[in-house]
């Protein structure tokens, strides 16, 4: 098929101008991308575990956290803050603070204030999800295998009367949705 | 046409506006100097979007000398070797021998000189940070000085020497070729030397204006071998980043061995052979490509060697070796932990081919990637083992002739490959597993059982159910009541019931046969369910673990004593009401305490069991606190036969609800106990069935007898809270729990 454009010089100029502008715009976008990839801060990705709405399972939420100094505190803080995904439920009661923590032989010992127990709404479902949201989030890190939870520096048998916390806990695959 | 052009034009114009006029206009309301709010002490003006400060205020703040030459209208400030000069009507600031452009330059207002704050103060070595959407400007004196950045330890460490360690961040780009170290409140030393840049690395130091931080950006031609987690250490005067080992050299040594050398320790590689052994892939964990040397000296055995970074998360380096003559290289045991060595002409030896109850196994001297496929006529499984040869214990033929396999033949398929052919009795599923055993690799192919037939015959007294499988199998038979049914769980069995002709005539005792598959503790289980028309006594007439199961159902009881007294006595049952005393447990929205409804249900359970003549003890019968340890000790000390803990559940979402039964595998009988109890509760309590759960709960873990913990309903769900408070619902829950207890005890009695 033969196709010929009949354009007067004015139209030609306009089209040329547009092509130039498009090229310039493309160059600008390319530059912006280059800048973005090279100079903007690249955040780290973490898996945070929150409860599903039924209160039966944990669902992982991929989160980019800018880690200033302390990855572990930042992860606990993100758990306390709650999920960003709409259909997930927070697992940590109000007022909870991480007092301090210690890592030894791939076991992290997290020392929480008493709010974790006192403000907890109870129930084995609630307790299981609270504890394993913490345990699974931290053991998802390659350097952590086990988690021990202390309340105000004290060893506990259980948080609110069901789950055995007298021994360090490992990642719980059964509680994770999609298994 | 013209209108369209116009539209395109406007569109482009808007894009340009967005791109170029994006930076917001500065407007600081507060200015902080070393943390102190000095807004009220200084005079500032805004001009051309730039903040200007009265020169005298600035001189006082920084304690600098200021001189003004009216004739030239020029201003000079001096401090610690820094000398800056501004002139009216010029937008430049002269700093030493350099001049930088500002927006406004020196401005005279009411006969007072004003100078651009940001540029001037930066010239004196101060750092600026804008916060709160540019509402606040912070001026800091640098807290640390970066003196030197250099490689250490054969390029495995990067050392950043600085006066003091201030907060920092280490960031990696996605492609792994850029590493950015952000250091807060840092400045670069005047005598800083770049000892990092070389033919592979390039260091760039960026002062991030407005954020009071310094960025050290290191770019590399190759992925930088950073460790994904950690790898950053602090000393008193340095920050140390330690890297993963890098590939250093690939070469042939004097013994004609191919060596892959890294700058550090090499972990266990994965080795795979492709294209009938023409090609070898070596995947090395935690090593990255570096400036490595490829030194093959035209070795005739190797055509090419390629190195790629297979992945960065996790870090895996892939070395791809193509052989030219079909001479295969095999890994040697590591002598030097930094070197992987391969010797030509060695093949993996296959040894000890064996078959035992549905499992075919053999050993190999190195890891293999067996290729398996099924052929239908006649049914057989073909196993190709590349780059291997037959060793001891592998004969041409292994005769089996059982229900699954007729025989296994072995042969050299071609130059590189040993082929095993398993002649099957019928097509079946299989599973291949690999594990290391004293330096050798053991491969096991498990052939799954399938159902051969299910038949049923009835005579006057009994109805027999016969289940025939292709092999001996692990199974468990359970009976559930209301509705009455007999359940058989098979392990390692392929569910081929849809291909099977089931008896058309089940009657009189069997109503229906169903099957399902589910996972039980990580293993797939095929469940066969016989729906019974009533309760019938049953007897298993085949020995356990056989391939033929024969069950007799009888209208009459097999055991005469059961007929007269089908009840179980002298069983000590402990019922545990959760929480109590100062521990209320969960609390409902309308104020119902978990401790009270737990106790109410536990008391009802006791009463029903007592009325039936059973021996029941409660851990608590009133509102008092008992630790978890005490509850466990109580049940263990009196040697209870079974333990039931009664609880009510709670969750933050008020709409979730239902009944759960928990068990723990500490006592293997607990699961059946839980199944029996939950069979009643899940089916008949009238609320959502949340199922049976294996849980790490204290009281069911440390009690020695079969134990369950029942979460009757959710107090956090207003509808269920109402139910939990009603005596009728409590009675219903209690009687269903009792039914489950009796069902379990009856089955244990072996009725």
| Structure confidence by residue, pLDDT tens digits, B207-265 | 776 677 888 888 887 777 666 555 777 788 888 887 788 888 898 888 778 888 888 88
A101 close to A110: Cβ distance less than 8 angstroms = yes
3-state secondary structure of B532: strand
Q: Hey, where are the domains in chain A? A: 9-40, 44-170
B147 close to B163: Cβ distance less than 8 angstroms = yes
Which residue has better confidence, A61 or B402? A61
Average pLDDT of each block of 10 consecutive residues along chain B (751 residues)? Answer: 67 63 50 82 82 85 83 82 81 81 82 84 80 77 84 78 83 80 82 77 78 82 67 80 84 84 81 76 84 80 85 83 75 73 78 88 84 87 87 86 87 83 86 80 87 82 85 82 83 81 71 80 80 82 82 69 48 92 91 94 94 89 91 91 96 93 93 93 91 93 95 95 94 94 81 44
* Cα B536 to Cα B461: distance, rounded to the nearest angstrom: 11
Please report residues of A whose CB lies closer than 8 A to that of B1: 11
Q: Given CB atoms, is A90 within the 8 Å cutoff of chain B?
A: yes
Q: Hey, where are the domains in chain B? A: 30-140, 144-242, 247-344, 352-435, 449-563, 572-748
Same fold, B144-242 and B247-344: yes
* Residue in the block written with tokens 């250091």: B183
Contact check, Cβ <8 Å, A160/B651: no
Q: A146 vs chain B: nearest CA distance in angstroms?
A: 15
Contact check, Cβ <8 Å, B650/A121: yes
Q: What is the DSSP string of B605-650?
A: HHHHHHHTT-EEEES-SSS----HHHHHHHHHHTT-SEEEEEEEE-
How much is the pLDDT for B423?
92
How much is the pLDDT for B297?
75
Q: What is the DSSP string of A68-125?
A: SS-HHHHHHHHHHH--SSTT-B--S-TT--EEEEEEETTEEEEEE-THHHHT----HH
Most B CBs within 10 Å: which of A124, A131, A146, as the mutation test of the B interface? Answer: A124
Confidence band (pLDDT; 50, 70, 90) for A42? very low
What Å distances lie between residue A66 and A33, A73, B144, B168, B216, CA to CA?
A: 21, 12, 23, 12, 18
Closest residue of B to A119, CA-based?
B586
Q: Which of B576, B532, B587 is nearest to B554 (CA)?
A: B532
3-state secondary structure of B551: strand
* Cα B604 to Cα B730: distance, rounded to the nearest angstrom: 8
DSSP single-letter state for residue B282: E
3-state secondary structure of B160: strand
Contact check, Cβ <8 Å, B649/A124: yes
Burial code (b: 16+ CB inside 10 Å, e: under 16) for B174-198 equals eebebbbbbbbbbbbeeeeeeebee
Contact check, Cβ <8 Å, B587/A121: yes
How much is the pLDDT for B16?
63
Contact check, Cβ <8 Å, A41/B174: no
Confidence band (pLDDT; 50, 70, 90) for A4? low
- Residues of B carrying an active site annotation: 711
Structural fold of domain B30-140? Copper Amine Oxidase; Chain A, domain 1 (3.30.457)
Please report residues of B whose CB lies closer than 8 A to that of A118: none
Q: Given CB atoms, is A51 within the 8 Å cutoff of chain B?
A: yes
B720 close to B653: Cβ distance less than 8 angstroms = no
Closest residue of B to A43, CA-based?
B171
Q: Which of B654, B545, B405, B311 is nearest to A123 (CA)?
A: B654
* Cα B621 to Cα B535: distance, rounded to the nearest angstrom: 36
CB pairs under 8 A between A and B: 137
* CB-nearest partner of A162 from B228, B230, B698: B698
Contact check, Cβ <8 Å, B5/A14: yes
> A25-29, A113-117, B18-22, B561-565: which range is least confident on average?
B561-565
Q: Tell me the residue ranges of DSSP E strands in B376-461.
A: 380-385, 388-390, 397-399, 405-412, 418-424, 430-437, 440-447, 449-458
Q: B687 vs chain A: nearest CA distance in angstroms?
A: 14
Q: Which of B534, B482, B529 is nearest to B507 (CA)?
A: B534
Please report residues of B whose CB lies closer than 8 A to that of A141: 229
How many Cβ atoms sit within 10 Å of the Cβ of residue B612?
13
Contact check, Cβ <8 Å, A123/B648: yes
Give me the phi and psi of B82, to 5 degrees please. -100, 135
Q: A61 vs chain B: nearest CA distance in angstroms?
A: 18
Most B CBs within 10 Å: which of A164, A178, A179, as the mutation test of the B interface? Answer: A164
Please report residues of B whose CB lies closer than 8 A to that of A68: 167, 169
Please report residues of B whose CB lies closer than 8 A to that of A91: 652
Q: A2 vs chain B: nearest CA distance in angstroms?
A: 22
Architecture of the domain made up of B352-435: Sandwich (2.60)
Please report residues of A whose CB lies closer than 8 A to that of B647: 123-124, 162
Characterise B302 by phi-psi region: left (phi > 0), alpha (psi -120 to 50), beta (else): beta
For chain A, percent of residues with pLDDT exceeding 90: 59
How much is the pLDDT for B274?
77
CATH number of B572-748: 3.40.630.40
Most A CBs within 10 Å: which of B239, B692, B696, B713, as the mutation test of the A interface? Answer: B696
* Cα A132 to Cα A153: distance, rounded to the nearest angstrom: 20
Q: Is residue B336 packed enough to be buried (19+ CB in 10 Å), middle (13-18) or exposed (0-12)? A: exposed
Closest residue of A to B709, CA-based?
A162
CATH number of B449-563: 2.60.40.3500
Please report residues of A whose CB lies closer than 8 A to that of B653: 51, 53-55, 89
How much is the pLDDT for A163?
95
Closest residue of A to B578, CA-based?
A161
Q: Which of B473, B309, B507, B463 is nearest to B404 (CA)?
A: B473
| Structure confidence by residue, pLDDT tens digits, A84-101 | 988 899 999 999 999 999
Residue B519 tokens read as 């996972």
* Chain A (52-71) residues lying within 8 Å, Cβ to Cβ, of chain B: 53-56, 66-69
Please report residues of B whose CB lies closer than 8 A to that of A5: none
Residue B261 tokens read as 């050398």
* Chain A (10-49) residues lying within 8 Å, Cβ to Cβ, of chain B: 11, 14, 18, 21-22, 25, 28, 32, 37-39, 41-42
Contact check, Cβ <8 Å, B653/A54: yes
Q: Given CB atoms, is A174 within the 8 Å cutoff of chain B?
A: yes
Q: B219 vs chain A: nearest CA distance in angstroms?
A: 10
Q: Which CATH number fits domain B144-242: 3.40.640.10, 3.40.50.1580, 3.90.1150.10, 2.60.40.3500?
A: 2.60.40.3500
CATH class held by domain B247-344: mainly beta
């Amino acid at each position: 098929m033969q196709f010929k454009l009949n354009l007067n010089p004015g139209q030609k100029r306009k089209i040329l101008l547009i092509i130039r502008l498009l090229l310039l715009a493309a160059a600008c976008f390319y530059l912006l991308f280059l800048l973005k990839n090279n100079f903007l801060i690249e955040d780290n990705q973490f898996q945070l575990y929150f409860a599903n709405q039924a209160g039966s399972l944990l669902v992982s939420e991929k989160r980019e956290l800018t880690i200033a100094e302390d990855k572990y505190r930042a992860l606990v803080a993100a758990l306390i803050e709650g999920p960003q995904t709409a259909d997930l439920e927070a697992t940590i009661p109000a007022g909870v603070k991480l007092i301090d923590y210690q890592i030894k032989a791939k076991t992290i010992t997290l020392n929480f204030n008493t709010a974790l127990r006192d403000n907890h709404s109870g129930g084995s479902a609630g307790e299981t999800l609270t504890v394993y949201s913490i345990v699974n989030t931290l053991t998802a890190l390659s350097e952590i295998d086990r988690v021990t939870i202390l309340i105000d520096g004290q060893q506990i048998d259980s948080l609110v009367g069901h789950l055995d916390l007298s021994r360090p806990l490992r990642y719980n695959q059964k509680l994770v949705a999609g298994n | 046409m013209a209108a369209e052009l116009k539209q395109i034009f406007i569109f482009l114009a808007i894009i340009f506006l967005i791109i170029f006029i994006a930076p917001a206009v500065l407007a600081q309301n507060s200015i902080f100097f070393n943390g102190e709010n000095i807004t009220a002490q200084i005079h500032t003006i805004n001009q051309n979007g730039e903040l200007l400060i009265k020169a005298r205020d600035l001189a006082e703040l920084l304690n600098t000398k200021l001189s003004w030459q009216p004739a030239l209208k020029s201003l000079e400030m001096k401090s610690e070797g820094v000398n800056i000069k501004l002139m009216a009507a010029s937008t430049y600031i002269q700093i030493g021998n350099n001049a930088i452009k500002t927006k406004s330059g020196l401005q005279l207002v009411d006969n007072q000189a004003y100078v651009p704050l940001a540029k001037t103060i930066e010239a004196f070595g101060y750092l600026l940070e804008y916060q709160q959407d540019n509402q606040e400007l912070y001026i800091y004196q640098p807290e640390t000085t970066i003196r030197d950045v250099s490689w250490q330890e054969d390029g495995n460490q990067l050392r950043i020497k600085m006066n003091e360690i201030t907060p920092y961040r280490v960031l990696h780009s996605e492609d792994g070729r850029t590493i950015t170290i952000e250091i807060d409140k840092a400045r670069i030393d005047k005598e800083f030397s770049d000892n990092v840049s070389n033919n592979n690395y390039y260091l760039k130091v960026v002062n991030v204006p407005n954020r009071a931080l310094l960025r050290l950006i290191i770019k590399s031609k190759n992925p930088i071998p950073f460790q994904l987690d950690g790898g950053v250490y602090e000393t008193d005067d340095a920050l140390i980043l330690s890297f993963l080992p890098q590939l250093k050299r690939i070469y042939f040594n004097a013994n004609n061995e191919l060596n892959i050398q890294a700058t550090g320790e090499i972990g266990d590689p994965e080795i795979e052979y492709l294209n009938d052994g023409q090609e070898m892939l070596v995947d090395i964990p935690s090593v990255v490509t570096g400036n490595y040397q490829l030194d093959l000296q035209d070795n005739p055995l190797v055509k090419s060697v390629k190195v790629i970074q297979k992945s960065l998360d996790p870090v895996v380096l892939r070395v791809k070796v193509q052989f030219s003559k079909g001479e295969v290289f095999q890994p040697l045991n590591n002598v030097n932990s930094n070197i992987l060595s391969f010797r030509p002409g060695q093949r993996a030896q296959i040894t000890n081919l064996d078959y035992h109850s549905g499992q075919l196994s053999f050993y190999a001297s190195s890891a293999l990637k067996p290729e398996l496929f099924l052929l239908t006529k006649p049914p057989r499984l073909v196993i190709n083992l590349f780059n291997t040869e037959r060793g001891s214990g592998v004969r041409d033929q292994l005769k089996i002739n059982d229900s699954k396999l007729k025989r296994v033949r072995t042969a050299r398929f071609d130059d590189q490959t040993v082929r095993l052919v398993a002649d099957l009795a019928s097509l079946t599923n299989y599973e291949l597993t690999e594990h290391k055993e004293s330096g050798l690799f053991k491969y096991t192919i498990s052939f799954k059982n399938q159902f051969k037939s299910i038949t049923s015959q009835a005579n006057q007294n009994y109805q027999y159910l016969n289940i025939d499988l292709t092999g001996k199998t692990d199974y468990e038979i359970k009976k559930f009541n209301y509705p009455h049914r007999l359940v058989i769980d098979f392990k390692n069995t392929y569910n081929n019931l849809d291909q099977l002709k089931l008896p058309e005539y089940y009657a009189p005792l069997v109503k229906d046969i169903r099957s399902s598959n589910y996972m039980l503790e990580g293993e797939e289980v095929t469940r066969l369910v016989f729906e019974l028309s009533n309760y019938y006594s049953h007897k298993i007439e085949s020995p356990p673990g056989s391939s033929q199961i024969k069950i007799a159902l009888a209208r009459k009881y097999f055991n005469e004593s059961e007929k007269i007294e089908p009840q179980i006595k002298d069983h000590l049952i402990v019922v545990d009401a959760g929480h109590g005393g100062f521990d209320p447990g969960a609390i409902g929205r309308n104020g119902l305490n978990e401790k009270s409804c737990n106790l109410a249900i536990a008391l009802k359970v006791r009463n029903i069991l007592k009325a039936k003549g059973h021996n029941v003890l409660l851990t608590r019968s009133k509102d008092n606190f008992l630790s978890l340890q005490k509850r466990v000790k109580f049940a263990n000390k009196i040697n209870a036969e079974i333990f039931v803990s009664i609880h009510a559940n709670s969750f933050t979402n008020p709409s979730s609800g239902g009944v759960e039964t928990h068990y723990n595998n500490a006592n293997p009988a607990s699961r059946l106990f839980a199944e029996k109890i939950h069979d009643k509760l899940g089916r008949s309590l009238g609320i959502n069935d949340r199922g049976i759960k294996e849980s790490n709960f204290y009281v069911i873990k440390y009690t020695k007898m079969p134990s369950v913990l029942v979460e009757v309903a959710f107090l956090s769900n207003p509808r269920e809270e109402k139910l939990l408070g009603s005596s009728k619902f409590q009675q219903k829950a209690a009687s269903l729990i009792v039914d489950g207890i009796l069902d379990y005890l009856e089955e244990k009695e072996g009725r």
